[in-house]
Amino acid sequence: MGRIITKFRIRVAMPDETAMICANGITSFGVRMSGKYEIRFATSAPLEKTLAVMLQVADQGALAGLAEADPQGVSARAAEISGFKAKPMGTLELIAPGGSAADRLLLLGLGKPEALTAHDWLRAGGAAAAQFKSSSNVVVFLDAPGLEVSARQAADFALGMMLRGYTFDAYKTKKKDDEEKLPKKVAVTIVTESHAEAAKMLDDANAVAGGVLLARDLVNLPPNVLGPVEFADKARQLEDLGVEVEILTEKDMSKLKMNAILGVAQGSARPPRIAVMQWKGGKAKDAPIAFVGKGVVFDSGGISIKPGAGMEEMKGDMGGAAAVAGLMHALAARKAKVNAVGIIGLVENMPDGNAQRPGDIVTSMSGQTIEIINTDAEGRLVLADALWYCNDRFKPRFMINLATLTGAILVALGNQHAGLFSNDDELAARLSAAGEATGEKLWRMPLGKEYDKMIDSKFADMKNSAGRHAGAITAAQFLKRYVGDTPWAHLDVAGTAMNSPSSEISQSWASGYGVRLLDRLVRDHYET
């Protein structure tokens, strides 16, 4: 056995020790995972009673770890008979292979090496983890002939495993037969020449995984469990990682004249909250970068009530706030060298006798007045006060807000891209590049005076809805009126944060979209 450089145990969602996956697989935060991974990097590993994962690139023929795991070459014949060509994320399983000490061999294809991206390494880790099944000991051979695997790629492979391992079934009282057979702990040894450097990067991978899984947890939790007050309490738990957290109550908001967000909240029996999270990892004199999230914990539409079919999915209307909380977790957990502010507006939009009405006019914190046309266009009201407060108090270098804001963006882009609106070309370009690198893709949408005119009101400074035409754009134009000259980007994640398509790294209804994207943006451009 080679020298083990590090041993890694997945830490999920919240920073306290009780958030470690417990013996029964449930954290104190309500997450159940399919297994507990203990990941380590090494130069070699014993293969008795293991699943051996062997990577292969297309057109090369040879497998990683062939001499160790398959000395008789039975995998070559199996690949020929089955037609396995090492296409991207393709797999072939061999049980009780002759001449091998391993119980199972898993061939994992990567496709052509020149086409591999950083996101593909995450996908490969997820594809491998999907085949662990009942194995409690796994050895992964990364260094396929034709590849020079970097430490970053090895760490990304491990991150992909962590993300694939997540599932949310804490409220199920019965398990399926195959779930009963899953091991409580899975020991994974990743064999690679880059083991020493890869081991140093595992803490960062763990931090990002924790942030993504936190965001998934928040979106997946039922609305009777996660209200504005409970969400704010979850944000406060980030203090254990060194994040400074303030919680603004409805009284604080009233003093600040945040009548836009208060108007949304007034139909609910649950009071609103704003969580202000500060990570001070940069130089004291450096202005912070800022992230603002829409946190409508449940959106009935208010008086302009939504159709009943599918309304249960509106528990995910706080996906933007979840991403901001997850990002702050990731930055703090990896000790990012940057000053960052995260602000999330937390409300519930409900209809009752005190609910906001179409035709009402409210005065936002900025002093601008808003005519309410549709109470289901509530997210922009929440963000209006949150963006103005953020800009006025912190004078950030830029602001990025995330929101499950419009169904219109889903019509335009589906669930493969989030909509990107920005008043700053450099910030937009950097976000787009981070999206391509992480697979959390963005598509830039237009802004313009012609669209801005569509939200002018006869009775107030603006109206909160201009109707169906260009709905995502006019919502962005509304937000733009609250950012001044500060570089700003609005990410409409209505199609990507919830009800997301299954992938190698996510089988969850909630994707955690935005955490990896924004962490990559910060890592590439804004750390000192």
Exposed / middle / buried, residue 64 (Cβ in 10 Å: 0-12, 13-18, 19+): buried
Q: What are phi and psi of 473, to 5 degrees?
A: -70, -45
Q: Which helix (H) or strand (E) holds 30?
A: none
Residue count (the chain): 528
Residue ranges for the known binding site are 294, 299, 317, 376, 378
Residue ranges for the known binding site for Mn(2+) are 294, 299, 317, 376, 378
Total Cβ atoms within 10 A of residue 245: 17
Selecting among 152, 236, 280, 306, the annotated active-site residue is 306
Q: Which helix (H) or strand (E) holds 151?
A: helix 151-164
Please choose, from the candidates 9, 32, 29, 34, the residue with its C-alpha nearest in 3D space to the C-alpha of residue 19.
29
**Known catalytic residue at 380:** yes
Exposed / middle / buried, residue 387 (Cβ in 10 Å: 0-12, 13-18, 19+): buried
Please choose, from the candidates 361, 345, 350, 343, the residue with its C-alpha nearest in 3D space to the C-alpha of residue 295.
345
Amino acid identity at 246: E
The answer to whether the CB of 132 falls within 8 A of the CB of 149 is no
The answer to whether the CB of 118 falls within 8 A of the CB of 156 is yes
- Range 84-88 contact pairs with CB under 8 angstroms and sequence separation of 24 or more: 84/109, 85/58, 85/109, 86/56, 86/57, 86/58, 86/59, 86/60, 86/110, 86/111, 87/58, 87/111, 88/115, 88/120, 88/123
Residue 485, C-beta contacts closer than 8 angstroms, at least 6 positions apart: none
Tokens of 527: 């750390």
- CA atoms of 32 and 42, how far apart (whole Å): 29
**Known catalytic residue at 306:** yes
- CA atoms of 430 and 164, how far apart (whole Å): 27
Helix axes 425-438, 515-525, angle to 10 degrees: 120
Amino acid identity at 312: E
Please choose, from the candidates 421, 278, 240, 271, the residue with its C-alpha nearest in 3D space to the C-alpha of residue 347.
271
Convert 254-320 into a string of H (helix), E (strand) and C (coil).
HHCCCHHHHHHHCCCCCCCEEEEEEEECCCCCCCCEEEEEEEEEEECCCCCCCCCCCHHHHHHCCHH
Selecting among 123, 380, 480, 516, the annotated active-site residue is 380
- CA atoms of 21 and 46, how far apart (whole Å): 26
- CA atoms of 355 and 362, how far apart (whole Å): 13
Catalytic residues: 306, 380
